[in-house]
Amino acid sequence: MNPAQAGVDFDLEKIKQQEARRTAAMKVISVAFDKVEQDYRVENSANGRVMFYHNLVHTKNVVSSARKIAERAIENGTIEDNAGVLAEIAAAFHDVEQRRGSGVNEEESVRLAQNEMTKENVFSSRDAEKVKNMILATIVSFAGGNMKQSATDDYLTKILADADLSSLGQPPEVYWASAQSLLKEIKNTDAPTLKDQLDWARGQIIFLSNHEFYTDEAKELFPHKEENIEFAKEQVRKLEAEFAKMN
């Protein structure tokens, strides 16, 4: 076999491997989607909470954002070609368990993701470890009123953390709809009080102002954060005016 033919065969084999990983990833991701849809429909409840935010809509949005960030990172040479599907798997499973509490939820989500990955014959133990680290990066903690994610020096964990909060940098109508869904979930009602809405809008200004995307790719893909700060300020002004009329 001449060197040129060997190169062609190598490229074909690489393409086949990538296609096999993509096909397997779609199967694994579909399991996550089905579970989230079954367990966390808005009309269902988890621990007595209505899942206005942590439902299939959010999961699919995070998968889409993870895909976009990963594709851009691959183009930039920041991550390996085969890491994109792992980011999508991690995104699909990152909120698949929502009933056990922060930290424990993510550990169980890792277990479920890795269990599905082992059913396929294309993912290595290293792949499973990467998915684990990405899911754990979405664990949040609070200090001094600020929220902190758990991304590490591993760039893939930063991709997942950014994907999870990508709505902060999406256009105002997308960002605000997402923020309102989270408020409804926290308050466990589809009609938060005017006071709750006002407090939430004020908190959003602080949250947006303190937040920074980890990756350059996310900053490029989701550039509307400053616009959203101004939008939140406008909502505060409107809500303050409404609140003043009532008091």
Q: What is the pLDDT of residue 45?
A: 62
DSSP string of the chain?
--HHHHHHHHHHHHHHHHHHHHHHHHHHHHHHHHHHHHH--TTSEETTEE-SSTTHHHHHHHHHHHHHHHHHHHHTTSS-GGGHHHHHHHHHHTTS--SS-TTHHHHHHHHHHHHHHHTSSS--HHHHHHHHHHHHTT--EEETTEEE----SSHHHHHHHHHHTGGGGS-HHHHHHHHHHHHHHHHTSSS--HHHHHHHHHHHHHHHHH---SSHHHHHH---HHHHHHHHHHHHHHHHHHHHHH-
pTM of the shown model: 0.91
Pick the CATH number of 1-164 from 1.25.40, 3.30.460, 1.20.1300, 1.10.3210: 1.10.3210
Tokens of 221: 């893909």
Q: How far apart are CA 46 and CA 216, in angstroms?
A: 35
Task: List, for residues 43-55, the tens digit of each pLDDT value.
Answer: 666 666 789 999 9
At residue 2, the pLDDT reads 56
Question: Looking at residue 5, what is its pLDDT?
Answer: 52
Task: Write down the domain spans for the chain.
Answer: 1-164, 167-247
Instruction: Give me the pLDDT at residue 15, please.
Output: 85
Q: What is the pLDDT of residue 193?
A: 97
- Percent of the chain exceeding pLDDT 90 equals 81
User: What is the model's pLDDT at position 66?
Assistant: 99
Q: Give the tens place of pLDDT for each residue, 13-31.
A: 878 888 999 999 999 999 9
Of 42, 118, 126, 59, which is closest to residue 94 (Cα–Cα)? 59
Q: Decide the pairing of beta strands 45-46 and 49-50.
A: antiparallel
pLDDT > 70 fraction of the chain, expressed in percent and rounded: 93
| Contact call for residues 138 and 162 (beta carbons, < 8 A) | no
Q: What is the mean pLDDT of the chain?
A: 92
pLDDT higher than 90, residue 120: yes
Residue 54 to residue 77: CA distance in whole angstroms: 32
CA atoms of 182 and 165, how far apart (whole Å): 12
Taking residues 96-125, report their average pLDDT: 94
